[in-house]
Structure 1
Amino acid sequence: MFILIAINNNLFGNVKTLIPKSEARKLVVQRRTELTSVDISQKTERIIQRLSTLDEFVHAQTVHCYIASRPGEVDTKKLINYMEGWGKVIVIPKLNKRTKTFNRFNFMGWEYLVKNNEGYLEPHVGIDEDMSDIDLVIVPALAISVSGQRVGYGGGYYDKLLKKTFAPKIVLAYEFQIFDYIESHFHDARVDKIVTEIRTINTRESSRKFDS
């Protein structure tokens, strides 16, 4: 069984808690389902505002960004619309279930997306998985440590994808998704920054603090 060691003041108080990875997923999913549409909208706007001040975002011409599809997620559809206003090139991932990798699709408007069998919006088709032109990756996460270790949705697709680019990797999350420490495997890819509704975390600095 995969175990994570986590400290999350919002969920557990100031007590270190040893729980399975599946339990962490369940706890965060439950918290997200408790958010109202107003909560999501307000928190998302604060997160986008913070993201928009980062050099990584300002200077990025081509941004790889997922489409929020699960209940309570930070609304990246708002972010995509916002980035269109900046004139950025937005690359949307499309999962290739045969190869278990992501193909890519340059976003040209919501009318070019369809709902898949799971009810999630995605492109009709995707081309190759080239990441050479990507300047910034917005990465999904259910839970995330301050040192950049992700708990995703299973499958390890993003771990594979993130190793194909040196572009900055940023997770957008609510404060209750942040943990002080999550045990990870050697193949897990870390992210560089986390943006929440109240702060921006530089995971490299946080990692050095934990190592010292």
Structure 2
Amino acid sequence: MTVSVHITNLQQLEKVSLRERVSRALRAAIVSGELEPGEVYSAPALGAKFGVSATPVREAMLDLVRENLVTTVPNKGYRITTVGEADLDDITELRMLIEPPLAAKVTAEIPAEDMPKLRDLARAIVDGALAGDLVAYTDADHAFHLQLLAYVGNARVSALIADLRAHTRLYGLSSLDGSELEESAREHDLILDAIEANDPQEVERLMQAHISQTRGRWARPEGS
């Protein structure tokens, strides 16, 4: 009985691991533009592309649907999400209204003992940029911003920002060169410097600049 349960658990772990690997490969293909916005792709075709069956592709796509990276097209497959310039402007406006003032508000409340953890998150963003790993970069960036919002103690705010970021977190990244990506990554350390200095006005200013510049860097009109 023990052996049977152990084997079953191993099989489940292997299945989860394959799903995660396929999810990561699909995200990378979306970032690179290999999977084009607006196009519909079937699970069997994607499975053949990545050397797996259609089943782990369908399972991985459930994650990507929740992240707003793809939408389901009944009886056909999955359409890569297209985000328009007007949508990006609206999302950026909402983030500017919410994140900078709240980051300033909690500046004095962030415990000094939490700074090493925040520095690690900021370092992970830079590491992703230096490695050219756009998925690692966006995952770490997502974690950093939501961790700051966690100090507000408002779950609805965190959920709203997570949803807004899910619509844009991979948009336009493939157009950035390495130096631009690194520059954006290192802005998080400047925000932490201001937090450590207990300077809420500077935290708000830096967060506003970061979000504004992110809009300009990540979402350039095609041909620019």
- Would you call these one fold, judging by a TM-score over 0.5? no
Scaled by the length of structure 1, the TM-score of the pair is: 0.25
Larger helix fraction of residues: 2
User: Larger Rg: 1 or 2?
Assistant: 2
More strand by share: 1
